[in-house]
Amino acid sequence: MPPKKRAYHHGDLRRTLLDASIALIVERGLDQLSLREVARRAGVSPAAPYHHFATRQELLEALAVEGFVMLAESMRASLEAVADQGSVERFRATGVGYIRFALAHPAHFRLMFRPSLVPVSAVASSAKGAAQADSFQILLDAVDDTLKDQSIRAHLDRRGLALVAWSLVHGAAELLLDGPFALGLPELDAPAPAIPELVTRAFQGLLDALRDAKGAGEGARVKSAKRRRTT
Amino acid sequence: MPPKKRAYHHGDLRRTLLDASIALIVERGLDQLSLREVARRAGVSPAAPYHHFATRQELLEALAVEGFVMLAESMRASLEAVADQGSVERFRATGVGYIRFALAHPAHFRLMFRPSLVPVSAVASSAKGAAQADSFQILLDAVDDTLKDQSIRAHLDRRGLALVAWSLVHGAAELLLDGPFALGLPELDAPAPAIPELVTRAFQGLLDALRDAKGAGEGARVKSAKRRRTT
DNA sequence: TGTACATCAGTGAACGCGCGTTCACTGATGTAC
DNA sequence: TGTACATCAGTGAACGCGCGTTCACTGATGTAC
């Protein structure tokens, strides 16, 4: 039988290296990540990582794949929590899952969208391509679902709606991580705890735009109860 | 009289260095920018830049300042083109100006929002702080203006609306520069020329959400003529 | 169960490299008289 | 206008550094008989 891929000497160096990388990115920023420093933090020699990753590049790509897998998980988890609700609520849940992931895993998130660190070449057939496609498919499914809803205005097509929704949550995540707060702009120094609430309302604003105000049925009414609370 | 700050030997090395940096960032990505390579491209010795920038950091900061100044210009230009229209149209124009800037100056844009390259320390009193505050003020003014409009729903406050609008345009810009297109996701491979149109519709979607469907007057009708064209 | 051998995750020294920055210098430009 | 001097943008060699990666090695673990 094929030997199990178990750790021999170290507990699980591969995992330890990935974790050390994340910690280093969080502390010093993406631009300061060095394989030697990662090895140092893992308590091994500078050559040790090469038994797990052929190059520094490969470690970064492994992190990016991990990120896309976690992103999909986060979106799915959010989605399942409202599985019994309408398509618009489920759509909103995917967005909340997206932002939740970004805030919980800022290092992964930043890395995933930095093509100059994790090049795009030959993505299609790789694990990274598959992981990307997976999270992206969740978004597209939610879009399709939402567009089937009779009470939705159709002035954005499938691709348009996907891009707009994605822009909103992606932008919110970026700004929350590196934007106005990090920039120290005084007018926007909201307390961090208020953020999820704010994001939910934001997405709600976008989704309200998609409702046909005249044609909206009970689905709309369920939401307006929630909305009124925030006014 | 004080001597004019004119070039002595080189035409204008400071400017040349900044331009070379931008070109280098566009070609190789933010993470590959080196002062030596910039000097090489400008055709000067590695020590020459130090007569214009005390450190590499200072050059990056100069670029970031430049970026924020251009961002404000772009937003203002967009705004002035619709100066005679309603507050909602003007609001939308600031967003379009934002995205237009990002697509026209991707290197500046990326640099401006990378705190690990251009640290936030002591921003308040610096030129960078002033430039940031300037573009940010345009956004806030547009928000305040829009909130004064009687036909606007108030379920987002000033800060909430600013963050949502900013998220939308910022996210769109990021995704257009480094996102799904760069990631090669097949479902979103829109032709680049369609982008401004798409963005305009996206912002329109957000703004529609802010209108009270019942209370909307002529202002709303002006827009719906445009909207119908895109259905 | 015990021994011989293969495997392979780790070591530690070494490599060449490009980097940011410094330094003493040179030579063109601008200024004072 | 012409000359002496100060200024300062550029040169080119040199520095020390941390990096990614390679290499011959060691020694613990797993496998065959």
Burial (Cβ within 10 Å: 0-12, 13-18, ≥19) of residue B145: middle
Closest CA to B58 of B11, B133, B117, B12: B117
Query: What is the band of A224 on the pLDDT scale with cuts at 50, 70, 90?
Result: very low
- Report the distance from CA of residue A36 to the C1' of nucleotide D7 in Å, as an integer: 46
* A5-40 pLDDT per residue, tens: 344 566 799 999 999 999 999 999 999 999 999 999
The answer to whether B76 CB is within 7 Å of strand D is: no
pLDDT at B30: 94
Q: Which of A31, A180, A206 has its CB closest to that of B116?
A: A31
Looking at per-residue pLDDT, the higher value among A179 and A18 belongs to A18
For residues B201 and B128, what is the distance between their CA atoms, to the nearest angstrom?
Answer: 32
pLDDT in tens, A34-48: 999 999 999 999 999
Six-digit token string for A66: 């991990």
Contacts of A166 in chain B (CB under 8 A): 171, 175, 179-180
Q: Which residue has the tokens 């932002």?
A: A99
| Mean pLDDT confidence for A115-127 | 72
* Closest chain B residue to the Cα of A163, Cα to Cα: B172
How many angstroms is C1' of D5 away from CA of B229? 74
* CA–CA gap between residue A33 and residue B188 (Å, rounded): 31
pLDDT number for residue A176? 85
Q: Which of A82, A98, A95 is nearest to A222 (CA)?
A: A82
From residue A228, alpha-carbon distances to A221, A224, B9, B157 in Å are: 11, 6, 67, 14
As a whole number, mean pLDDT of residues A189-208 equals: 58
To the nearest whole angstrom, how far is the Cα of B10 from the nearest Cα of chain A?
A: 32
pLDDT of residue A37: 98
Between chain A and chain B, the number of residue pairs with CB atoms below 8 A apart is 184
Question: Are residues B156 and A188, on separate chains, in Cβ contact within 8 Å?
Answer: no
pLDDT higher than threshold 80 for residue A207: no
Backbone phi and psi for residue A115, each to the nearest 5 degrees, phi listed first: -60, -25
Predicted confidence (pLDDT) at residue A160 exceeds the cutoff of 50 = yes
Query: Does pLDDT of A109 surpass 70?
Result: yes
Q: What is the pLDDT of residues A46-88, one digit of tens each?
A: 999 999 999 999 999 999 999 999 999 999 999 999 999 988 8
**Three-state secondary structure along chain B?**
CCCCCCCCCCCCHHHHHHHHHHHHHHHHCHHHCCHHHHHHHHCCCCCHHHHCCCCHHHHHHHHHHHHHHHHHHHHHHHHHHCCCCCHHHHHHHHHHHHHHHHHHCHHHHHHHCCCCCCCCCCCCCCHHHHHHHHHHHHHHHHHHHHHHCCCECCCCCHHHHHHHHHHHHHHHHHHHHHCHHHHCCHHHCCCHHHHHHHHHHHHHHHHHHHECCCCCCHHHHHHHHHHHHHC
Q: Does A121 have pLDDT greater than 70?
A: no
Quick check: B155 and A231 CB within 8 A? yes
Distance from CA of A217 to the nearest CA of B (A): 15
The candidate with the shortest Cα–Cα distance to A156, out of A171, A144, A172, is: A144
Q: Are B124 and A184 in contact (CB under 8 A)?
A: yes
CA distance A99 to A106: 10
* Mean pLDDT to the nearest integer, A152-162: 68
Residues B175, A130, A70, A158, CA torsion sign: positive
pLDDT at residue B207 in the model = 62
Half-sphere exposure of B200 (CA within 13 A, CB side): 15
Between the CA atoms of B96, B168, A208 and B218, what dihedral angle is there, to the nearest 10 degrees?
A: -20
- pLDDT given at position A189: 58
pLDDT confidence of residue B223? 38
Among partner residues A163, A170, A231, which is closest to B188 by beta-carbon distance?
A163
Average pLDDT score, chain A: 78
Distance CA A177, CA A182 (A): 7
| Integer CA distances (angstroms), A11 to A6, A54, A105, B82, in order | 9, 20, 24, 64
Contact in structure between A54 and A76 (CB atoms under 8 Å): no
Mean pLDDT of A136-142: 92
Query: Which phi and psi (to 5°) does residue A88 adopt?
Result: -70, -40
Cβ(B225)–Cβ(B171) under 8 Å? no
Q: What are phi and psi of B152, to 5 degrees?
A: -95, 135
pLDDT tens string B154-179: 556 777 778 888 888 999 899 888 87
Mean pLDDT of A217-230: 37
Tens of each residue's pLDDT in chain B, 231 residues:
333 334 456 679 999 999 999 999 999 999 999 999 999 999 999 999 999 999 999 999 999 999 999 999 999 999 999 999 988 888 888 998 999 999 999 999 999 999 888 876 556 567 888 888 899 999 999 988 888 875 655 556 777 778 888 888 999 899 888 877 666 666 665 554 455 566 666 666 666 555 533 333 333 333 333 443 333
How many Å apart are CA A165 and CA A210, to the nearest integer? 11
